[in-house]
Amino acid sequence: MAVAAWRMIAPLDKPADRLLTRYFRDHRELGVHDRGFIADTLFGMLRHKRLIEHLAGDSGPRLLVLVYFVKLAGLNLHGMQPLLSRAEMQRLQKIKAQRTDDLALAIQSDFPDWLVEKLRHFMPDADILALGRSMQNPAPLDLRINTVRASREEVLHSLRSDGVDAQLAPYSPTGIRLKKRISLSRHPLFLTGKLEVQDEGSQLICYLTAPRRHEMIVDFCAGSGGKALLLGAMMQNRGRVYAFDVSDKRLANLKPRLKRSGLSNIFPQRIAHENDAKIKRLFGKIDRVLVDAPCSGLGTLRRNPDLKWRQSQQAVAELAQKQSQILERAAGLLKPGGRLVYASCSILPEENEDIVNGFLSQQPQFRQLHCGNILAQQGIALDTGEFLRVLPHTHNTDGFFAAVVENSNA
């Protein structure tokens, strides 16, 4: 089963989760446990794809799966013997005994060569290896409390009463972290809108936005609305949060979340592009703008390990052009004294610092604010400097970047 599923998704011409969903749709006879086993195997293989391909050589999908089982998933080779040919057994014994700590950095970190070369421009090899290894592990399940519905203490107590190993998230005042992933779709806390799934790094970006009651806020690239919902709750259901996105599907995913949340200050609106008339009407009127820019997503490899094999240098360069255009257009929404947060879930400077520095060099009326100072004002003890940079191997979050600029025109 796992071999057939790997054969189907291995070309990675589409996102792995979408391909896996298609595989399960074509094999409805598979039960819950079989589906879970296949999904865990395939995503584990994607996290270690380069290593298992190196160890297996030019062999086919079956040996790739077997290498993953015996070298990385901890299956007992002796117990697998009845399922193996003599040649497979001998090959796997050699692979299991093979050292991997002397392999090339790109193989150990499980990054493509082009990404390693980019990382080497601003990160030593030891940090690249630590980053890569951290991204080979699944992410913890981070939750965000909806403070309109409940307090963090109430939700934490309820989860622990249900036997869930839940802890306070280390940074976000509304965050809770679960050591083990559980299904929440039918949990009463989820159904009543008291909690949402949201990575802690994503939550911190909203705290940089620091919205206040009665303000007008724009979430420029809202997606399915996780950040817009947190902004609305931080405003205590006062003011207005415009949730803009170009995708009807993503905005449709916001509707049930908004209904559960109890918020009435969120206004989802589809836009055709960054020059849409709906945006023009708000020029110079907005207090805060959050731009969670479309990006390579390379900070989310714990969740989306296939991305490192579907992205390319050319795609990153094209995204950087788009990011600059979006930032420039979004900044026009701000009134004098207004604040803009530019964020991405990329780890590359050309999608992050370079975009912000390029913008500031062309827009002298804007000045950069210190992210660490803004977080400290809200009781968050996290100072990564002028920019916010969080990474899985240092903060146990997805890789996020953010910068804050202010329209200083009087």
* Active site residues per annotation: 345
Residue 36, helix vs strand vs coil? helix
Taking the C-alpha atoms of 28, 31, 36 and 42 in order, what is their torsion angle to the nearest 10 degrees? -40
Structure letter (DSSP) for residue 236: T
Cα separation of 201 and 214, whole Å?
A: 26
CB hemisphere CA count around 103 (13 angstroms): 17
Which residues have CB under 8 Å from 335's CB, separation 6+? 284, 285, 286, 287, 407
Listing DSSP states for 165-197 in one string gives -EEE-SS-TTEEEESS----TT-HHHHTTSEEE
Do 44 and 137 contact (CB within 8 A), yes or no? no
Using CB atoms within 10 A of its CB, is residue 381 exposed (0-12), middle (13-18) or buried (19+)?
A: exposed
Phi, psi (deg, nearest 5) at residue 30: -70, 135
Helical H runs in 302-406? Answer: 307-310, 313-331, 353-362, 371-377, 392-395
Among 200, 237, 242, which Cα is nearest to 222's? 242
Structure letter (DSSP) for residue 91: H
Cα separation of 256 and 181, whole Å?
A: 22
